[in-house]
Every structure is written in structure tokens, then in C-alpha cells.
């Protein structure tokens, strides 16, 4: 994300009040609780102060390069030549998209025939020479270009500023038909639309078979709603999404929808070593044609650089007094809620998901509750909508044997991060040591291998069995969790302050 340097930025704002936390050695539970409560007076002040303002002006007016310069001078960003280069390209696209509409590509005008065309001329000189849109010459209203504007595919390592630059670009686009969405949320919406269209079909009669492909109609539906789509964390992880994306994006792009996406993977590495990847490769060519790749990889993870930590938000499971500290933190945050502490039932896509301990916008969960069950992006998005603070307790050592849980944990963090949900973690090891790339050969993998009729040699090259995608995603998870433990992130995630600002 952004190259935020909060320490320097504090010169432009106020100072933060830190709360004290419990030392981790030779301390009793009672002492832990006592010392924690002493520090919560300042914690309340930190989390409830409505007068907090961000370290630099963040208005959307003016050129985004000018805004970038202002943030560098203020100290909230560090000068980065690669970021500046990408911004210049995004500025040119901003100007192109000013009041842009893809209506021309959705409803191409009918062809007209030149009445003066000589029917005896060579067939290499066609009589059809104009369209309804270009049959007249109007210098004030020139016809739309034959091809729609091209977007960008911004890729690079974690924490290099991809999301920040895309958001700056998006906020400055003067066009009402635009949409910015996390890629997980976008794919959930696509699956819902496909399901809705299938449900609307008339019931088939016995012996009356017909084929229906809902993907193109769904793509046209979206193309009529927006002409600019901005995706964060573009990724392809399973064969079902790979099949859908190939057809969906071809239709979207040919319908004049401009796409700007960020990703940790280059286009050529999308769905790398995936099942039936050969059928996905043509989509990569289409993507690169309509969204030229830009590499933003300075080798610096700004989430880890010059961060002011929000005191202790990451606890080790074996720490003396860790549980009483977490209990006291939850009680302090729950104190401000106009609600009672108890279970909450979430209804997601017709299913019920129960969280055992919640209070208003605060949830206190175990790792098993969140990642040990068959939950997915839709469940985590609903949690992100309801809660601004989530405690995650007893995260185990993560190995390849637990790759399903690792995958869910990465999706959970992605959705929480994108929605500024604050997280307090209790885990079996420090963050950088939490995921061990060993312990594979699960019995279920062997069963799946047999069901697919694949040899172990072939399986050794497929990400479905090697957990390559989970290992890659967890690198992003560590980077994001690092930023989620900073003062700036926690202040931005306090929705009570956000509501007061809007009021």
C-alpha cells in the first residue's frame, strides 16, 4: 500500500497517546490485568478521539501527481521514482476517461452504404464505408475511437504502493460510471449474478435439453452499469474462476469497459501451475492487450518501513497473562458499545454462521471459528461489514497439512484489510515464523489425486497439491498484518470516528 511513514508525518498532525501493555515475563494474571487497566484510560482517549485528523490533507481535488508531491513534502510518503512514473501514466488515463462512456461499444451504430459506390469496382474496395456515428463530420463531436481506451495491470511485490496509487487514480477520475472493488468481492458478485440468471430460467421438461451460457449476459449487464472497473488484488486460484474469467473479461473489455488492476503476480504468472491452465492462457493475451502491464517493484515493503506501532496487538499463545490482557482489551472496547456481549448469528447466502462472543462492532473469535470451518470470502465480507475490531485467538502453527486453513486465513486478512477491520492476534509463533512450508502429503490430497487420475509426478507441478498459491498469498498476509498493527491503521479503522466525521 502507501509508503506511509507515520513518525515523520506526526509533525503535520498531533501526537498519538499510547497505552501501556503487560510485560511478557514473570507476571501473574492479576498483575497483568491490573497493569492493563491502568493503560486503558489512554487507550480510550486514543480510540475515541473524534478530533483526530490524518497526517496530511487527503482531498481529491487537483492532479494526483500534485497530491503525491504534497504527501511527500508532508512526510507521510517517501519519494519513489517508480511510483511517480506509474502516476504519470495514470494521469493520462484519467484525462482520457473524463466523461468517457462505453455506450458506443455496447450499441454499435448500424452500417450505412455509400450510395455513390460503383458496383463494378474491385471487391477489395468495399461499399460499406461509414457508420451511423461517423457518417457526418463534426469537429466538435468527433466519433469515438475504433478501440476503447486501454487500462493498466499494475503488478509487483507486496507493500510497494500499488493499492495506494490505484485509489489515488480512482478518486480523481471525473466519471460517475466507475467502480472500485476487491477482486474477491467482484468474483462473489459474479457468482451471485450467474446463479440468479440460472434460477430465472424456465424449468426443463423431461427430454427437452438445452444449453445456456450465463457468463456473456452477466458481462453485458456489468458493462451497462460501469465503464471503469478498478480491481485490487487480481488473482486466479481455482479452475472454476479461470473458466469464468476467460469469457467474462473478453466480453467486458470488448464492450468498452476500462480495467485498472493491481496484483502481486505478473500477467504471465496468473493461475500459475493451475489445473487445466492451457485453457486459461488465451485470456492472458487478451488481458495484456487491453491492460498493458506496469511493474511496480522497488524492492521495498513500505508496510514494514518506519511504522509507529499501536503498542501490543500481537500476542504469543504461551505468554504469561496473555489471555487476561486480551479479555481486558475486549471489555474496554465493548464498554463503548450500546449492546450486550453474546453470540451473533450471521446470515450469508442463506446460511447461518454463528460467532460465539460479540458485542456491537467487536468480535472475539478463535482461529477455529474463523478458519477451521468451511467459510469463504462472502462470510468474511459480512464480518467486515458488521465489525470494526476482531480478536483472533489461538492461531496454531500453520503447515502445509493445514493449507485449507492457511488459504482461509489469507482470504480473511485480505477482506479485513480492504475494509479497515482492526485485528488483535494471539498465535503460536511470531508472525514471520507462523507458516512452515512442510508437513504436506495430506490423505485428502491423495484421495483427490486418485479421483483425478493424476500421477504424483504431475501433482508435483500443480499448485493444487504443492500449496504454492498459499505460500505466495501468505507473504502478502504477513505484510498486511504488519501494517494492521500500526497507529494509523487503527485510527482509520475506528468507525465511530468515521461516522462523526461524516456527520
Q: Report the number of distinct structural domains present in the chain.
A: 2
Last residue of a domain, one of 295, 317, 352: 295
CB 481 within 8 A of CB 390: no
User: Quick one: pLDDT at residue 15?
Assistant: 34
Looking at the structure, tell me whether residues 86 and 222 fall in a common domain: yes
Does residue 368 or residue 200 have the better pLDDT? Answer: 368
Q: What is the CATH number of the domain that holds 397?
A: 3.40.50
Looking at the structure, tell me whether residues 233 and 259 fall in a common domain: yes
Question: Is the pLDDT assigned to residue 230 strictly greater than 50?
Answer: yes
Task: Indicate whether 385 belongs to any domain.
Answer: yes
The full 3-state SS of 372-440, as one line of letters, equals: HCCCCHHHHHHHHHHCCEEEEEEECCECHHHHHHHHHHHHHHHHHHHCCCEEEEEECCCHHHCECCCCC
Give the residue from 159, 346, 153 showing the smallest Cα distance to 258. Answer: 153
Q: What is the CATH number of the domain that holds 99?
A: 3.40.50.300
User: In DSSP terms, which residues pair with 307 in a beta bridge?
Assistant: none
- Stretch 449-462: mean pLDDT: 52
Neighbours of 125 (CB within 10 A): 9
With 0-12 / 13-18 / 19 or more C-beta atoms within 10 angstroms meaning exposed / middle / buried, residue 133 is middle
Task: Indicate whether 118 belongs to any domain.
Answer: no
Cα separation, 452 vs 377, whole angstroms: 26
- How confident is residue 62, by pLDDT bands cut at 50, 70 and 90? low
Q: Are strands 258-263 and 228-232 parallel, antiparallel or unpaired?
A: parallel
Task: Indicate whether 136 belongs to any domain.
Answer: no
Collapsing DSSP to helix, strand or coil, 363 comes out as strand
The residue segments making up the domain with residue 366 are 308-502
Looking at the structure, tell me whether residues 380 and 290 fall in a common domain: no
Does residue 161 or residue 2 have the better pLDDT? Answer: 161
Reported as a single tens digit per residue, the pLDDT across 329-375 is 999 999 989 889 999 999 998 899 999 999 999 999 999 999 999 99
Task: Indicate whether 141 belongs to any domain.
Answer: no
**In Å, what is the CA distance from 296 to each residue of 205, 230, 449, 452?**
54, 17, 38, 38
Percent of the chain with pLDDT over 70: 70
- Stretch 413-429: mean pLDDT: 94
pLDDT, mean over the chain: 77
User: Quick one: pLDDT at residue 53?
Assistant: 39
How far does CA 495 lie from the centroid of its chain? 19
- How confident is residue 165, by pLDDT bands cut at 50, 70 and 90? very high
Task: Indicate whether 53 belongs to any domain.
Answer: no
Q: How is residue 355 annotated by DSSP?
A: E
- How confident is residue 56, by pLDDT bands cut at 50, 70 and 90? low
Looking at the structure, tell me whether residues 274 and 315 fall in a common domain: no
Looking at the structure, tell me whether residues 367 and 395 fall in a common domain: yes
- Stretch 472-498: mean pLDDT: 85
Task: Indicate whether 466 belongs to any domain.
Answer: yes
Reported as a single tens digit per residue, the pLDDT across 16-25 is 333 333 333 3
Burial 335-371 (b: 16+ CB within 10 A, else e): eeeeeeeeebebeeeeeebebebbbbbbbbbbbebbb
Looking at the structure, tell me whether residues 240 and 328 fall in a common domain: no
User: Quick one: pLDDT at residue 204?
Assistant: 65
Q: Is the dihedral of CA 143, 147, 153, 154 positive or negative?
A: negative
- How confident is residue 271, by pLDDT bands cut at 50, 70 and 90? confident
User: Quick one: pLDDT at residue 363?
Assistant: 97
Looking at the structure, tell me whether residues 385 and 486 fall in a common domain: yes
Q: Mean pLDDT lowest for which of 241-250, 418-427, 459-468, 470-479?
A: 459-468
Does residue 190 or residue 111 have the better pLDDT? Answer: 190
How far does CA 308 lie from the centroid of its chain? 24
Cα separation, 473 vs 382, whole angstroms: 21
Q: Mean pLDDT lowest for which of 67-81, 191-205, 245-259, 379-393?
A: 191-205
**In Å, what is the CA distance from 220 to each residue of 217, 225, 250, 282, 364?**
5, 9, 11, 20, 42
CB 102 within 8 A of CB 117: no
Looking at the structure, tell me whether residues 470 and 336 fall in a common domain: yes
Q: How is residue 233 annotated by DSSP?
A: S
Reported as a single tens digit per residue, the pLDDT across 389-399 is 999 999 999 98
Looking at the structure, tell me whether residues 170 and 315 fall in a common domain: no
Task: Indicate whether 469 belongs to any domain.
Answer: yes
- Stretch 117-140: mean pLDDT: 43
User: Quick one: pLDDT at residue 255?
Assistant: 93
Looking at the structure, tell me whether residues 227 and 353 fall in a common domain: no
Cα angle: 132, vertex 215, 221; to 5 degrees: 50
CB 260 within 8 A of CB 172: no
CB 352 within 8 A of CB 345: yes
User: Quick one: pLDDT at residue 109?
Assistant: 54
User: Quick one: pLDDT at residue 318?
Assistant: 85
Question: Is the pLDDT assigned to residue 122 strictly greater than 50?
Answer: no
Cα separation, 289 vs 282, whole angstroms: 11
**In Å, what is the CA distance from 353 to each residue of 289, 359, 373, 475, 499?**
42, 16, 10, 28, 27
In degrees rounded to 5, what are phi and psi of residue 254? -75, -15
Q: Mean pLDDT lowest for which of 175-179, 235-239, 450-454?
A: 450-454
Cα separation, 465 vs 401, whole angstroms: 11
Percent of the chain with pLDDT over 90: 42
Looking at the structure, tell me whether residues 163 and 291 fall in a common domain: yes
- How confident is residue 119, by pLDDT bands cut at 50, 70 and 90? very low
Residue with cell 489461538: 394
**In Å, what is the CA distance from 426 to each residue of 230, 239, 272, 314, 435?**
34, 34, 33, 6, 14
Looking at the structure, tell me whether residues 318 and 272 fall in a common domain: no
Does residue 470 or residue 15 have the better pLDDT? Answer: 470
Reported as a single tens digit per residue, the pLDDT across 275-286 is 778 888 888 999
User: Quick one: pLDDT at residue 488?
Assistant: 85
Last residue of a domain, one of 241, 268, 295: 295
- How confident is residue 88, by pLDDT bands cut at 50, 70 and 90? very high
Q: Is the dihedral of CA 466, 469, 472, 473 positive or negative?
A: negative
- How confident is residue 445, by pLDDT bands cut at 50, 70 and 90? low
Question: Is the pLDDT assigned to residue 55 strictly greater than 60?
Answer: no
Question: Is the pLDDT assigned to residue 94 strictly greater than 90?
Answer: yes
Task: Indicate whether 122 belongs to any domain.
Answer: no
Last residue of a domain, one of 265, 295, 325: 295
Amino acid at each position: 500500500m502507501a509508503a506511509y511513514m507515520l513518525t515523520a508525518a506526526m509533525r503535520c498532525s498531533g501526537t498519538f497517546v499510547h497505552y501501556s501493555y503487560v510485560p511478557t515475563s514473570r507476571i501473574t494474571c492479576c498483575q497483568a490485568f491490573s497493569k492493563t487497566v491502568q493503560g486503558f484510560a489512554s487507550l480510550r482517549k486514543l480510540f475515541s478521539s473524534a478530533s483526530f485528523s490524518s497526517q496530511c490533507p487527503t482531498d481529491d481535488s487537483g492532479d494526483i501527481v500534485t497530491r503525491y508531491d504534497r504527501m511527500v513534502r508532508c512526510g507521510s510518503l517517501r519519494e519513489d521514482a517508480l511510483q511517480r512514473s506509474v502516476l504519470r501514466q495514470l494521469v493520462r488515463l484519467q484525462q482520457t476517461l473524463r466523461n468517457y462512456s462505453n455506450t458506443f461499444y455496447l450499441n454499435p451504430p448500424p452500417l450505412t452504404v455509400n450510395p455513390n459506390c460503383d458496383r463494378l469496382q474491385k471487391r477489395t474496395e468495399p461499399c460499406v464505408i461509414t457508420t451511423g456515428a461517423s457518417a457526418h463530420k463534426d469537429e466538435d463531436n468527433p466519433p469515438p475511437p475504433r478501440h476503447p481506451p486501454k487500462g493498466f495491470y499494475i503488478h509487483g511485490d507486496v507493500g510497494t504502493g500499488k493499492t495506494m496509487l490505484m485509489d489515488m487514480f480512482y478518486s480523481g477520475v471525473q466519471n460517475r460510471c466507475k467502480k472500485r472493488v476487491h477482486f474477491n468481492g467482484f468474483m462473489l458478485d459474479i457468482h451471485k449474478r450467474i446463479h440468479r440468471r440460472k434460477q430465472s430460467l424456465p424449468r426443463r421438461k423431461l427430454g427437452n435439453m438445452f444449453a445456456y451460457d450465463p457468463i456473456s449476459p452477466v458481462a453485458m449487464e456489468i458493462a451497462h452499469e460501469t465503464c471503469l472497473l478498478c480491481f485490487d488484488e487480481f488473482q486466479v486460484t481455482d479452475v472454476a474462476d479461470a473458466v469464468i474469467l476467460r469469457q467474462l473479461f473478453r466480453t467486458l473489455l470488448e464492450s468498452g469497459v476500462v480495467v485498472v488492476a493491481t496484483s502481486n503476480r505478473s500477467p504471465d504468472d496468473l493461475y500459475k501451475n493451475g489445473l487445466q491452465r492451457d485453457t486459461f492462457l488465451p485470456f492472458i493475451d487478451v488481458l495484456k492487450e487491453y491492460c498493458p502491464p506496469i511493474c511496480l517493484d522497488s524492492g521495498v515493503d513500505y508496510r514494514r518501513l518506519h511504522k509507529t506501532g499501536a503498542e501490543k496487538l500481537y500476542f504469543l499463545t504461551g505468554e504469561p497473562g496473555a489471555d487476561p490482557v486480551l479479555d481486558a482489551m475486549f471489555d474496554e472496547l465493548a464498554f463503548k458499545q450500546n449492546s450486550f456481549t453474546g453470540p451473533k448469528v450471521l446470515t450469508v447466502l442463506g446460511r447461518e454462521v454463528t460467532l460465539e462472543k460479540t458485542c456491537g462492532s467487536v468480535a472475539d473469535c478463535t482461529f477455529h471459528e474463523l478458519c477451521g470451518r468451511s467459510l469463504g470470502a462472502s462470510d468474511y465480507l459480512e464480518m467486515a461489514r458488521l465489525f470494526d475490531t476482531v480478536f483472533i485467538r489461538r492461531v496454531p502453527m500453520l503447515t502445509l497439512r493445514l493449507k485449507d486453513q492457511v488459504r482461509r486465513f489469507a482470504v480473511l486478512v485480505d477482506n479485513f484489510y480492504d475494509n479497515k477491520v482492526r485485528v488483535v492476534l494471539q498465535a503460536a509463533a511470531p508472525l514471520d515464523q507462523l507458516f512452515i512450508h512442510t508437513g504436506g502429503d495430506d490423505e485428502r490430497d491423495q484421495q483427490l489425486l486418485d479421483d483425478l487420475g493424476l500421477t504424483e509426478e504431475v501433482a508435483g507441478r500443480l499448485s493444487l497439491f504443492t500449496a504454492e498459491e498459499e505460500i505466495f498469498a501468505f507473504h502478502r498476509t504477513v505484510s498486511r498484518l504488519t501494517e494492521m498493527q500500526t497507529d494509523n491503521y487503527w485510527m482509520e479503522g475506528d468507525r465511530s470516528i468515521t461516522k462523526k466525521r461524516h456527520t
